Chain A
Amino acid sequence: DIVMTQTPLSLSVTPGQPASISCKSSQSLLQSDGETYLFWYLQKPGQPPQPLIYKVSKQFSGVPDRFSGSGSGTDFTLKISRVEAEDVGVYYCMQSVQLPYTFGQGTKLEIK
């Protein structure tokens, strides 16, 4: 299985300040088609996860521009340029390059 490791596991951020979450995979997530299948999801309290980013850096429709993804191979980062109160929740990275699909442990974001 591909192990996904996120850091930090928790984050407390003042509104308007940036935030960054790292995700490292135990194997490269580069697929033979040249794409890298790394996703970011946000699980708000009491809700199922919702998709934010696909293929490392592409935003799903409706995701605010303050969310951005970067990285390659085995190292990836999710950045929030200016945290807002509605961004609280747990952020998960996920890989779909190989079965079983696996998620990171999650990073809990709270507002100071």
Chain B
Amino acid sequence: QVQLQQWGAGLLKPSETLSLTCAVYSGSFSGYYWSWIRQPPGKGLEWIGEINHSGSTNYNPSLKSRVTISIDTSKNQFSLKLSSVSAADTAVYYCVRYGGLPVWYFDLWGRGTLVTVSS
């Protein structure tokens, strides 16, 4: 059974860089897009961006200037970096697989990592 396991620092100071990694276990890495989605406490969902196994990326324009998503196919891992964080970036960050049948959709989610930005 395919699983996503994510990790990274949970407490950051303003202006620091958020860094999270997600590992894909027991499943294929190719043929999907691998996304990051965040959810501020008590609020809705925001798609951050995605990457495929070839390294092709798409980002949300609202975050594009600060976001980098990268991939390490040798380790079946993908990562998120968000620079110059502020309190507005406090959220649960999910790594998510985009793919599947019968239609492309967000079909597999990590457990989420709460990232708090506070001085």
Contact = CB atoms under 8 A, between A and B. Distances in A.
A22 interface: no
B106 A51 contact: yes
Interface stretch (A12-20, A70-78, A79-87, A93-101): A93-101
Contact of A51 (B58, B107, B112): B107
Interface residues of A, number: 21
Interface in A32-57: 37, 39, 41, 48-49, 51, 54-55
A28 to B, nearest CB: 18
B61 A103 contact: no
Contact of A100 (B61, B105, B106, B107): B61
- Counting contact residues on chain B (CB < 8 A from A), the size range is 20 to 34
A106 B45 CA distance: 9
Contacts of A1: 61-62
A55 B103 contact: yes
Nearest to A39: B105
A92 B24 CA distance: 26
A104 interface: yes
Contact of A49 (B103, B109, B111): B109
A102 interface: yes
B41 interface: no
A105 interface: yes
B44 A48 contact: no
A94 B45 CA distance: 10
